[in-house]
Amino acid sequence: MTKRDRNQTEQRILDAVGKIVVAEGFEAVGVNAVANVSGVSKVLIYRYFGSIEQLLAKYLEDNDFWLNTEFPVMQYDNVKDFSKAIFRAYIDMLRKSPALRKLYRWEFTTNNPAIEKLRERREQTALKIINAVSQQSGFSLDRVGGISTLITASVSYLYILSENCGVYCSLEINNDSGWDKLLETIDFMFDKIFD
Amino acid sequence: MTKRDRNQTEQRILDAVGKIVVAEGFEAVGVNAVANVSGVSKVLIYRYFGSIEQLLAKYLEDNDFWLNTEFPVMQYDNVKDFSKAIFRAYIDMLRKSPALRKLYRWEFTTNNPAIEKLRERREQTALKIINAVSQQSGFSLDRVGGISTLITASVSYLYILSENCGVYCSLEINNDSGWDKLLETIDFMFDKIFD
DNA sequence: TTTGTTTGTTACCGATAGGTTACATACTTT
DNA sequence: AAAGTATGTAACCTATCGGTAACAAACAAA
């Protein structure tokens, strides 16, 4: 290219990964694809990152999914509002990040050290929140964990699916109206749970 | 092979598709794979089915995912028990069918007429149930739809993920203990909702 | 200036994918 | 029996994948 600059080249490669992930998902990140999109010879991918696996690990590290995500840390007077806020934040995170949706999809078909690391961090964050809610509410860890699992899994599923499918179980998941209804449903549930 | 028998050959091909789907998912169903597993020359796949797409369409039709699934049709005196039974049946269906789990996973990355047809049927079934529950309970369609979406999406997500991941949000999803907890959570929710 | 190293490209390799052509043989029909 | 059709296989074609070797040029150090 114009100038010799390893850092810039590495960044170009990483940027290409990001583009591919957002557009087609992690499944489509291959040496040739990255080389083409970045405009960099694929030899350099191996030279600078070792392998596609390691390149993706670096990408995940850089983009820091779930690692530094700051959730509302119990700045609410009551557990009910706190619970509602947590899942509102979770929904917002997935809404704003196509890469995160692609990451969750990728998890269904792939297992590797980078993914497992992310899962561990996610579990840690979840446990922290579950513990806090359990203590404040008096509900058992299993109870709070069950409810959390139910809602987060659901939201994740619907966001992943929404990229390919407009309606699920009568809910329009490809526009805001459906998500408003879902949010309202979650609020309703918490109203009933914390009566 | 030993004898010339088109029907048997077609069946062998379809059986091979089934094996591949269960073992590796729809993503892995290609001409070469099907030819190898079935022991049939790949030319015949094209000759008898036209393409892999059409072969998969036939497979889906034969195996009839979701098309003729009979759900408990309101043989309960109260809506609460009926609701619980519905989702218990849904969980059971996914637990017993690895192919269905693979189908749901495939939906995330693929769109084709066969899948869309299945989605339509699924929506029809869902709407029927939602209508019935709404009428019996007095809850609005949106309310019942929201709750149904939340639970079915969640269960689907967890079952798909369970093939690659042991724990999600503090819940063990790769053994019965986790699923018992989730079932218990769903029951708890309905107890709160139908107070 | 010369020597060695880093950055980069081109061209190639083997494996595997989807897809087709050509051919052999069994069965049907007349 | 002869002709035509249905069933099957082997071999091949092209495209693309991951991966590497060989080479060119810029830069740093001696």
SS3 of A91, please?
helix
The reply to whether the CB atom of residue B41 sits less than 7 A from any atom in nucleic acid chain D is yes
* Per-residue model confidence (pLDDT) at position B77: 81
- Rounded to two decimals, the pTM is 0.96
Statement: residue A103 has pLDDT above 90: yes
Question: Stated in angstroms, how far is B46 CA from C30 C1'?
Answer: 31
For A129, the closest chain B residue by CA position comes to B169
Disruptive mutation site among A87, A110, A170 for chain B (greatest number of B CBs within 10 Å)? A170
Q: Across the A/B interface, how many CB contacts are shorter than 8 Å?
A: 154
Question: Stated in angstroms, how far is A104 CA from D13 C1'?
Answer: 39
The reply to whether the CB atom of residue B43 sits less than 7 A from any atom in nucleic acid chain D is yes
Residue of A188, A152, A182 lying closest to B145 (CA atoms): A182
* Per-residue model confidence (pLDDT) at position A77: 82
| Positions of chain B with pLDDT under 70 | 1-2, 67-68, 73-74
Name the residue with tokens 């609701």: B83
How far, in Å, CA of B125 to CA of B66, rounded? 9
Mean pLDDT of chain A: 95
Question: Stated in angstroms, how far is A60 CA from D21 C1'?
Answer: 31
* Per-residue model confidence (pLDDT) at position B85: 95
Quick one: average pLDDT of A79-103?
96
**Taking CB atoms and an 8 Å cutoff, what residues of chain A touch B25?**
109
* Per-residue model confidence (pLDDT) at position B68: 67
* Per-residue model confidence (pLDDT) at position B195: 81
How far, in Å, CA of A45 to CA of A150, rounded? 40
- Encoded tokens for A63: 């983009």
How far, in Å, CA of B173 to CA of A13, rounded? 37
What confidence tens digit (pLDDT) does each residue in A113-147 have?
999 999 999 999 999 999 999 999 999 999 999 99
Which of A149, A181, A188 minimises the CB distance to B171?
A149
* Per-residue model confidence (pLDDT) at position B2: 57
